[in-house]
Structure 1
Amino acid sequence: MPIPANILFNALKHHKGYIRQQIATATPTTLPGLLKKLGNSQMDIYYGYLTPERLFEEVLAQIPAETASAYLAWLNGEYKEIILSDNSKWILLEGNVPGQYIHLHPARYSPESMRVKAPILKTAIACIVCHPRIVHPDLVMVNQIRKTILQLSPVKDLAQCQHLWQVMKMLLV
């Protein structure tokens, strides 16, 4: 998935298709390095039908992106929200990486997206990689993954896992 050079986009945090690609090649050994990139905050994951390439095309068609100065003048020190062809909403900010002046991520609670806390996403990805044929791992499996691979505290019971199941279902479908 080639990201245009001027766009700052963390696909592991924000694009279901990319996350699924990473899951397909990850192993329990490579998980800690992969999941470290997720940090500890909340994020919105786009699960719509737009491929990353199409997403970037549609974004670039709506904004002045030829130069950093044109883009930053358009932002006028704020952020902008745009709507793409599938009605998903995206936020554009000033990028903080040299050359990547367009920072892009799904809008909070946008159509075609799901708001997720990083520990839940990490747990979901790790459960899918470690137990690919199990849609609802049991409490022992979940806690073993959380403690040994993710260095996260255990959950007390499966009732606490409802959001985890939703995220796993979204990633598996």
Structure 2
Amino acid sequence: MMEQPLPNPILFHPLKHHLGYLRDFAAQSITWPEPELRKAFQRIGGSQLDLYIGPLPSLQIAEEVILYLQQRHLLTPEPYRQHLVPVGYRLCTLSDGSAWALRWGLHTGRHVHLHPGRYSLHTLRIKANHLKTALAVTIASIKYNQPISLQLLNQVRAEWLELPPVTGYTSAEGLGKVLDLVPGNA
């Protein structure tokens, strides 16, 4: 079962920012039709992002941020908005030592937009296309009962992600590092 919705006023995109969620998503989305998978991959975007790889589930992250805001009387929109001035964000440290960027959320009722802190404890800065590729090839590997290979990787890059092929990768850098993370024995 995919993770439950987070409580208001939290806005968080775990498909882009939470490794545990990505692993669950990979295992549970194997029955989805390919057009639905492609739509999910598009939500990840195309630039760089910060991926939380720590132990806290999304719900606990949200609850700890809500508690942090309640203790400071910042849970309602206007005090929270003023708290973000003048830089547009603030950092909040959670129980595992990870830092989270609190930004203004544009969705009604979800004005606290969370991002893992850049270069924070339990956070990796990665390319979105590496994340999409690792997630897609992990799903394809399970879906088609094939081991992850360069051929399968390039197949999903072309068919699901509309990305050019890669000539190779190593676990020492970039795509290979993300490929080592995402399957996580999914």
Shared fold (TM-score greater than 0.5)? yes
Residue 115 of structure 2 corresponds to residue 108 of structure 1:
no
TM-score, structure 1 normalization:
0.89
TM-score, structure 2 normalization:
0.83
Offset at 1:49?
Answer: 0.8
Offset at 1:159?
Answer: 4.8
* Amino acid of the structure 1 residue aligned with 2:138: I
CA distance in 2, matches of 1:172, 1:126: 10
Residue 163 of structure 2 corresponds to residue 157 of structure 1:
no
Trace 1:1-173 onto structure 2 (pairs within 5 A): 1-27=4-30, 29=34, 30-63=36-69, 64-78=73-87, 79-132=89-142, 137-159=148-170, 162-173=173-184
CA distance in 2, matches of 1:147, 1:172: 20
In percent, how many aligned pairs have the same letter?
A: 36
CA distance in 2, matches of 1:157, 1:73: 48
Question: CA RMSD, aligned part only?
Answer: 2.1
Higher deviation after alignment, 13-22 or 161-170: 161-170
Offset at 1:156?
Answer: 2.4
Q: Structure 1 residues 140, 163: closer, same or farther in 2, change over 3 A?
A: same
* Amino acid of the structure 2 residue aligned with 1:9: F
- How many residue pairs match? The answer is 172
